[in-house]
Amino acid sequence: MSSADGFSNIQLPAAQITPLHALQLEPLAGRYRVLRQGVNALVFAGFWLLLLLLWWQPWWPLPSHLQQVIRHALWLVPVLGVVRAIYCWQADKHKHFALREHDISYSAGIFFRQMVTQPVVRVQHIELKQGPLERKASLARLQLFSAGGALHTFEIPGLWLTQAQQIRQFVLQHKDALQDEQQQ
Amino acid sequence: MNNNNESGAALLSELSQPVSQAEWRRVSAIAILYFAVAALRFFASQLVYLIPPAILLFNRIKDNPGMALGMLSALLLMIVAVAILKFYYFQYRLSAGTVEIRSGVISKKYLNLPFNRIQNIKLEQPVFYRPADYVCLQLDTAGSVHQEAKLVALSRPFAEALKQHILDLREPASECPQTTDSVQQTAVLADSAERLLNQRSLADLVIHGISNNRIWLFLGLAAPFYNQVAEHGLDLLLQAGIDLPALFDPTEQSWFVIGLYALSLTMFIMLLFTVFSVLGSVLTFYGYTLHKKQDNYIRRSGLLTRHEVSMRLSRLQWVALKRDWLDMLLGRVNLSLAQINGQQQVNAEQRIMVPSVTLAEARNLLNDACADNHLNQITFNRISRRFIWRCVLLYWLPVAVIMPLLLWTQQHLLLAWLSVIPLTFWAVLIVMRWYRYGIAQDEQYCYVRRGYFGVDYYCFANYKLQQVVFKQSWLMRRAGLCSVKLVMASGVLEIPFLNDITGRTLLERGLYQLQRSKKAWM
């Protein structure tokens, strides 16, 4: 049944109300994972090259204990790089988001899984951020700020720019978000 | 592209158009100066770290001033370039109900801020803006501690008109209660007189001083002066005919007498501390009254400086009833009404706390703030015993094995045996923590219980939630457990090791209530 002022309270079958644990989660953009792998590889390769240069350079004789450290670091750094790459690949696979009519959820974590749910009506303001590499890859990070404080800013990384813009528009055009906050 | 000199009317026409028709604008070019000063400030703050190497290299710089000058001018040039780029990329757009800001040279930021979410508007005028009368317009929401949006160089009339427009948008809402029908208006008038909710007598404040020891704060502050105080104290005691070192000398006294002296001295010091704590309590809370006028709570107290703090009921986020073990023995409760804890951070003096009320008074105050709450009847969901095992295995057991073993190997047998006392105390603390944890929810409110020997209760309306977090580790998932985190404007409450169905239902119901009620959180 619906009335003239636009309020409706039509009965919904229970199956239509999606509980949080049954949400169909959407993965982040595939390019986000590739980008993270690239950055990881570059950082570790750069660090490894720096160590190699330090090892080979003829101008400054290294103290013997430093030589020992660098010798071990030269094999340890690539190993750490590979471990981190595997971890990031798996971790990024477990990052998902989902939209319901009134809230947005973001889940992450391999062993320690957590799902943050942000009701749209509690969003204070929205920011869309793009670093230089994200801009090249047409990716964006969406941040939703609530009164829960800076520590609890809701963030979804690795969205396609158009997707992030659509979600921003969804939040801005949400009928509850547009109502006046002061009104009881 | 300087469009800042429009009149208020032009601004209003701009503010009524939809986003799609609104134009992106740049602020006045004087913003370059603003960005340059900001960059200069940043470099100056970093310069502190460069002082030590500069001192070391002073001679080299003296020999080669050209290079130093070159570096300095390069730095200045960089600041100018940064400022120009920042100005070029700083754009804003005003449309019906929203301000949007695009900024950032390398890392881009795009901010959307609806006007109705703005809590605070501030006009700031740096010295160099004064001649041309430009201002910075800062728009704050409750979203974070930093200024969310800053329009860096607007002409004053434009900024004033915009500020007025945003304030006007808020006005009708705050006037809403007054424009109701006549029956309600008379009710409002009848309610406009202050109603006394609670007051504290001197005896209550003495109890508060005893049960809430404020002396630790005093002791912490006095730590640097311990030595002088001890010497001075010993001199004074000597003059009074008491020689403390002689009293505690085992060659002159028997152990039993020394023990008695030690006991009485400890008792005396404890008594002294308690007296100080009582004095502190009386100083802060003397003449304490809590009134209610319409929807406002007004707290007045203080012996020397009278403090008056008022808070609207709608700003209340949760009511906390806190009792430590001494409060449990004395049958008292410290009740606090918590409000937003973000950028409008309230310090201890501004918090509305009712010290050491009796259980019946606490119940009345709680019923006043949260009508129809069921804190007294509701059954709390306990957390799993796995909480104890986790704390014991992860923290307690390693320490309980390593510490006595270390002491044993270093021949401190007595200490190794004595370490059993703190370890047992710690174990009891873990068990008590588990015992106290609990959560419950009804149609309107959510109740959280936690504590050690004492117990704290939190009661809040479901619609005050800002965000919810559901956490589950791999082991927890296997055992059907979870942790839930309830984020509110006044802080975060986390309940670990809860049955996962209970946890999910709790979050789902909380979200449902908040989305269904459509009530504002403040």
Per-residue pLDDT tens over the stretch B88-135: 999 998 887 888 899 998 889 998 888 888 877 888 888 888 888 888
Q: How far lies B353's CA from each of B288, B291, B298, B322, in Å?
A: 10, 13, 11, 10
Residues of B in contact with A131 (CB under 8 A): 106-108
Among residues B489, B448, B521, B210, the alpha carbon closest in space to that of B344 is found at: B489
Selected residue with higher pLDDT from B522 and B330: B330
pLDDT band at B480 (very low <50, low <70, confident <90, very high): very high
Pairwise CB contact (< 8 Å): B114 & A178: yes
CA distance A69 to chain B (A): 27
Nearest to B148 among A102, A125, A130 (CB): A125
B83 vs B168 pLDDT, higher one? B83
Contact B520 A184 (CB under 8 A): yes
> B352-358 and B332-338 as β-strands: parallel, antiparallel, unpaired?
antiparallel
**In terms of pLDDT, which residue wins out, B121 or B438?**
B438
Q: For A141, name the nearest residue in chain B, comparing CA atoms only.
A: B109
DSSP three-state, residue A60: coil
Considering only alpha carbons, which residue of chain A is nearest residue B511? Answer: A119
Cα(B326)–Cα(A91) distance, integer angstroms: 48
Torsion of CA B470, B476, B481, B486, to 10 degrees: -20
Q: State the burial class of residue A110 (Cβ atoms within 10 Å of its Cβ: 0-12, 13-18, 19+).
A: exposed
**pLDDT in the model for residue B90:** 92
Q: Annotate A117-130 with DSSP letters as a single string.
A: EEEGGG--EEEEEE
Band of residue A72 on the pLDDT scale cut at 50, 70, 90? very high
- In angstroms, the Cα distances linking B70 to B40, B229, B485 are 17, 58, 55
Strand residue runs (E) in A8-131? 26-27, 96-99, 103-108, 112-119, 125-130
Residue A147 and residue B504: Cβ atoms within 8 Å? no
**What's the CA gap between B511 and B318, in Å, rounded?**
17
- Cross-chain Cβ contact A148/B466 below 8 Å: yes
Locus of tokens 């939703």 = A144
Q: Buried b vs exposed e over B272-303: b needs ≥16 C-beta within 10 Å?
A: ebbebbbbbbbbbbeebebbbeeeebbbebee
With contact defined as beta carbons under 8 Å apart, do B270 and B264 qualify?
no
* C-alpha to C-alpha distance for B206 and B203, rounded to whole angstroms: 5
Tell me if A113 sits within 8 A of B473, measured CB to CB.
Answer: yes
Cross-sheet strand order for the sheet of B318-323: B352-358, B332-338, B318-323, B455-461, B445-450, B438-441, B381-382
The one-character DSSP state at B379 is P
How confident is the model at residue B483, as a pLDDT?
96
Check whether A178 has a pLDDT greater than 90: no
Cβ of B108 within 8 Å of Cβ of A129? The answer is: yes
**Residue A129 in tokens:** 């951020």
Is pLDDT at B10 greater than 50 in this prediction? Answer: yes
What is the tens place of the pLDDT at every residue in B274-317?
888 888 888 888 889 999 988 889 888 888 777 888 888 888 89
Contact in structure between B13 and B138 (CB atoms under 8 Å): no
Give the C-alpha separation, B349 to B301, whole Å: 10
Residues of A in contact with B109 (CB under 8 A): 127-130
**3-state SS record for B103-170:** ECCCCEEEEEEEHHHCCEEEEECCHHHCCCCEEEEEEECCCCCCCCEEEEEEEHHHHHHHHHHHHHHH
What distance in Å separates the CA atoms of residue B27 and residue B152, rounded to the nearest whole number? 7
Rounded Cα–Cα distance for residues B482 and B384 (Å): 10
Q: Kindly report, residue by residue over B328-344, the tens digit of the pLDDT.
A: 988 999 999 988 765 44
Chain B residue with the nearest C-alpha to that of A19:
B508
According to DSSP H, which parts of A3-29 are helical?
none
Quick check: A6 pLDDT over 60? no
Residue A183: pLDDT above 50?
no
Q: Looking at residue B191, what is its pLDDT?
A: 54
Q: What pairs with residue A107 in β-bridges?
A: A96, A115
Q: What is the pLDDT of residue B2?
A: 44
**Which residues are CB-contacts of B248 (< 8 A; sequence separation ≥ 6)?**
B258, B261, B262
CA R_g for chain B:
31
The DSSP result for B436-455, as a single string, is H-EEEE-SSEEEEEE-SSSE
Q: Is the pLDDT of residue A99 over 80?
A: yes
Longest dimension (CA), chain A: 86
Of A19, A127, A148, nearest to B504 by CB-CB distance is A19
A102 contacts in chain B (CB < 8 Å): 511, 515
The predicted structure's pLDDT at residue A11: 57
pTM score, two decimals? 0.79
Tokens of A115: 């799902």
Rg, chain A, Cα only: 24
Q: What is the pLDDT of residue B82?
A: 92
Task: Write down the mean pLDDT value for chain B.
Answer: 83
Give the model's pLDDT for residue A12: 56
pLDDT for res B214: 59
pLDDT at residue B46 in the model = 81
Min distance B282 CA to chain A CA atoms (Å) = 34
Q: Are A67 and A54 in contact (CB under 8 A)?
A: no
Residues of B in contact with A113 (CB under 8 A): 471-474, 477
What are the chain A neighbours of B110 within 8 Å (beta carbons)?
Answer: 127-130
Q: B215-248 in b/e burial notation, b at 16+ Cβ within 10 A? A: beeeeeeeeeeeeeeeeeeeeeeeeeeeeeeeee
Q: Sorting pLDDT into bands at 50, 70 and 90, what band is B322? A: very high
CB–CB contact B176 A127 (8 Å):
no
Q: What are phi and psi of B167, to 5 degrees?
A: -65, -40
Contacts of A125 in chain B (CB under 8 A): 111-114, 117, 141, 143, 148-149
Q: What is the pLDDT of residue B237?
A: 80
B145 pLDDT exceeds 90? no
The answer on pLDDT for B404 being more than 70 is: yes
Strands B455-461 and B491-499: unpaired
- Three-state SS at B358: strand
The reply to whether residue B107 touches residue A132, judged by beta carbons under 8 angstroms, is: yes
Kindly indicate the confidence band of residue B177, based on its pLDDT and cuts at 50, 70 and 90. very low
What is the arithmetic mean of pLDDT over A11-17? 58
pLDDT band at B380 (very low <50, low <70, confident <90, very high): very high
The encoded tokens of residue A168 equal 């921003």
Cβ B506 vs Cβ B446: under 8 Å: yes
Q: How far is B244 from chain A (nearest CA, A)?
A: 53
How high is the pLDDT of residue B222?
62
Q: Does residue A37 or residue B215 have the better pLDDT?
A: A37
C-alpha separations of B430 from B383, B388, B424, B484, B503 in Å: 13, 6, 10, 19, 22
- Burial of A134: CB neighbours in 10 Å, binned 0-12, 13-18, 19+: buried
Is residue B387 within 8 Å of B497, Cβ to Cβ? yes
Above 60 in pLDDT, residue B394? yes
Nearby residues of A63 by Cβ (< 8 Å), 6 or more positions away: none
- A147/B113 CB distance under 8 A: no
Q: How confident is the model at residue B192 (pLDDT cuts 50, 70, 90)?
A: low
DSSP per-residue string spanning B214-259: -HHHHHHHHGGGHHHHHHHHHHHHHHTT--HHHHT-TTTS-HHHHH
**Range in A179-183, B262-266, B503-507 the model is least confident about:** A179-183
Counted residue by residue, chain A has a size of 184
Q: pLDDT tier at A7 (50, 70, 90 boundaries)? A: low
Please give the average per-residue pLDDT across A52-67, as a whole number: 86
Does residue B264 have a pLDDT over 70? yes
Neighbours of A99 (CB within 10 A): 16
Residue B340 Cα distances to B113, B140, B148, B505, angstroms? 20, 14, 17, 26
In angstroms, what separates the C-alpha of B15 from chain A's closest C-alpha? 16
